[in-house]
Structure 1
Amino acid sequence: MKNVAVILAGGSGKRMGGSVPKQFLILGKKPIIQLSIEAFENHSEIDEICIIIHADFIPELEGIVKENGFRKVRHILTGGKERSDSSIAAIRAYQKEPNVNLIFHDAVRPFVSKDIISNVISHLEKGKSVAVAIPTVDTIFQIDENDRIVSVPQRNLLRRAQTPQAFSYKVIKKAYDIALKDPNFVATDDCGVVLKYLPTEAIFTVEGEETNIKITFEGDLVLGEEILKGK
């Protein structure tokens, strides 16, 4: 099975408040998306890379790929308005070669480690669907529409989701095929799609890392610089 890293970079970065999507902001003298590509480009078990990007930023991304000689980047595709459109674009790109694993990763998680990627691939080789997650150190409240606490789930059973999230092509394609027939379909991540539309498909977790952060707000850039110094 070929291992394909699908780097999801279609976001507009509005929460940063700027005109440049956050995946193109600079960390340690490099665009964030370049750091994410490097993590998969340099991993021996990743066969190729597919990047989903807003159409307006394809030239900028192509420049980064060419300048750095990223040989594994095979596809640069456009997504759509919704997060799920990016996954669907990748699924359709591989419909003629379904003997692949698709490893979906947020472009704005630039510090995904070699160990995390290796653990994900190890589970894929065993025929498992995989999510990366870390334990929560905080108690989590479930509230209702009036902000009243209705439940306090057991903390030891809760995890904070990270990426990658990875599936065989057969599994993720089947889940989305069913989802797209649902007029009320809404998705924020691929695990949610598989969990809802293929409820008998077990999704296993592998341990993430505190440094595998998602760059979302300005303060995350400061933290990102500290992580780079630590490396």
Structure 2
Amino acid sequence: MNIALIIAGGVGNRMGQDIPKQFINVYDKPVIIYTLEAFQKHPNINEIYVVCLEGWHDILRAYAKQFEITKLKGVFNGGASAQESIRNGIMEIKASDDDIIVIHDGVRPLVDDFVLSDVIAKAQEFGNAVTSMPYNEQIFVKQTEETTEKYIPRDTLRRVSTPQAYKYSKLIWAYKKAFEENIGIGNSSYTNTMMVDLGETLYFAAGSDRNIKLTTKDNLEIFKAYLKMEKDGWLK
């Protein structure tokens, strides 16, 4: 079985709005519903669970009913950090050891079918998979505030995001160990970085430039532009 765990526990301070960014309406639909619809329509996703900001559970369930997200099976409380939120969800889900858990940010609403298909297939084959893309910019290492003499060859880099997929048994082991031993659970960490900190090898899956994270108002405008482009339908 393939289970989606959607992380929507943040408050979205950088968006500067009065409500959490995952609940902002774009063309009369909340951002979180765009995300859930991608998983709802994908034939390889069996169940959906959401880690949600406390106080917004009933609103999420109401939206899910309105937009027919029938695969939604549970809503859990978020934590003080992304890692705590993910751990909360992992510990609440009832799954078999070999089930694949697909972790995805609730504010990445443009996840493509082929991205989901590939991350699931790679996780089934290797035990884990992380969505990735080539890094196309030059990266220089800062030596002082104004100087550098060193760069990192970009062909050695990949930029990764969600969705990420892991076998359930590995996630249970990893989050128990990480929180017991304080490994890979800092504010900037996520499941993928935690796994590396725990000594695991990660496998790359396909990514997409469309899979943007809605963090600022500029990101929101880009999302709206993507939706409008899809509606216009004039590009081949």
Please, what TM-score do these two structures have when normalized by structure 2? Answer: 0.90
SS of alignment partner, residue 189 of structure 2: coil
Report the secondary structure of 2:122's partner residue. Answer: helix
CA distance in 2, matches of 1:150, 1:141: 8
State the partner residue of 2:195. 194
Count of residues in Structure 1 that have an aligned counterpart in Structure 2? 228
State which drifts further: 138-147 or 39-48: 138-147
Q: Over residues 132-171 of structure 1, what are the superposed CA-to-partner deviations in whole Å (9 max), with x where a residue is unaligned?
A: 1111211112336857547421101112222101100111
The 3 A distance-change label for structure 1 pair 95 and 72 is closer
Q: State how far apart, in whole Å, the 1-side matches of 2:53 and 2:149 are.
A: 39
> Aligned AA for 2:180?
K
2:159 aligned counterpart, secondary structure? strand
CA displacement 1:53-74 (0-9 Å, x = unmatched): 0112112111101112211101
CA 1:82/1:147 → structure 2, altered by over 3 Å: closer, same or farther?
farther
Contact 1:128 1:167 (8 Å CA) reproduced: yes
Other-structure match for 1:83: 82
Name the aligned partner's letter for residue 207 of structure 2: G
C-alpha distance after superposition, 1:18-72 (max 9, x if no partner): 2211111122321110000000010000000010001121121111011122111
Aligned with 2:221: secondary structure? helix
Map of 2:63 onto structure 1? 64
Q: Pairwise CA RMSD of aligned residues?
A: 1.8
Counterpart contact for 2:6–2:104, Cα < 8 Å: yes
Moved more, 147-156 or 7-16: 147-156
Contact 2:8/2:106 (CA < 8 Å) preserved in 1?
Answer: yes
Indicate how the Cα distance of structure 1 residues 108 and 96 shifts in structure 2: closer, same or farther if over 3 A, else same.
Answer: closer
Residue 136 to residue 221, structure 1, CA distance change in 2 (3 Å): same
- Write the distance in 1 (CA, Å) between the matches of 2:80 and 2:228: 35
**For 1:183 and 1:209, how far apart are their aligned partners in 2?**
32
Q: Which runs of 5+ in 1 are unaligned?
A: none
What runs of 5+ residues in structure 2 fail to find an aligned partner? 231-236
CA distance in 2, matches of 1:121, 1:178: 24
Aligned to 2:233: none
Distance 1:176 1:213 in 2: 26
Amino acid at match of 1:11: G
Query: After superposition, what is the alpha-carbon deviation per residue over 1:181-219, rounded to whole angstroms, capped at 9, x for unaligned?
Result: 22464252100111111x1x3211122111111111101
Aligned counterparts, 1:22-171, within 5 A: 22-94=21-93, 97-143=96-142, 149=148, 151-171=150-170
Match of 2:234 in 1: none
Q: Report the secondary structure of 1:81's partner residue.
A: coil
Q: Distance in 1 between matches of 2:168 and 2:149?
A: 38
Q: Secondary structure at the match of 1:70?
A: coil
